Amino acid sequence: MAISRDKLVLLVEPVVEAMGLTLWGVEFFVRGKTSMLRVYIDHEDGVGVGDCERVSRQLSSVFDVEDPIHGEYTLEVSSPGLDRPLFTPAQYRGFIGETINVKLRFPFEGRRSFKGKLEAIEAGDIVLNVDQHEYSFPFESVEKARVIPHF
């Protein structure tokens, strides 16, 4: 039985916060016989390799005791980066006006990928302007979304 992302967040978040960092998000992928757990951490002053190493060691110790993932898995701890993934409605709100890539769980109008300006978060929907056409997607329909950095 696979563990839910929400349960992983409940296990990981207190560990990350106790280290003076913020949990940005968690991704869990099952690939054949092995799995990948990716933990994104953040801090207002940025995140360095040392922060990732410390969190990785601490989480490994906690997972050795709690054993939340059955079978082999790889733990990766990273900063969200400039092209940060978006996990929560609050994170989306922080990037209103920015261009994002959205991949839906199921096709809408024959496609799953959309790139456009994030206009709003309204009543649990993500409002995206793609080539002067406004789309509204339920938050639950989004498989993944990433901010597109501009330089």
In a domain, 84, yes or no: no
For residues 6-23, average pLDDT: 94
147's CB contacts (< 8 A; 6+ apart) are 82, 83, 84, 86, 95, 98, 99, 100
For residues 35 and 69, is the Cβ–Cβ distance under 8 A?
yes
Check whether 108 has a pLDDT greater than 70.
yes
Check whether 137 has a pLDDT greater than 90.
yes
Query: Which tops the pLDDT comparison, 17 or 33?
Result: 17
Q: What is the pTM of this model?
A: 0.89
For residues 21-49, average pLDDT: 92
Contacts 24+ apart (CB under 8 A), 131-140: 135/108, 137/102, 137/104, 137/108, 139/89, 139/92
In a domain, 83, yes or no: no
In a domain, 29, yes or no: yes
Range of the domain at 44: 5-78
For 36-92, the pLDDT digits (tens) are 999 999 999 999 999 999 999 999 999 988 888 888 889 999 999 999 999 999 999
My answer on whether 65 and 104 are in the same domain is no
My answer on whether 133 and 74 are in the same domain is no
Q: How many domains does the chain have?
A: 2
68's CB contacts (< 8 A; 6+ apart) are 3, 7, 8, 11
My answer on whether 98 and 61 are in the same domain is no
My answer on whether 20 and 68 are in the same domain is yes
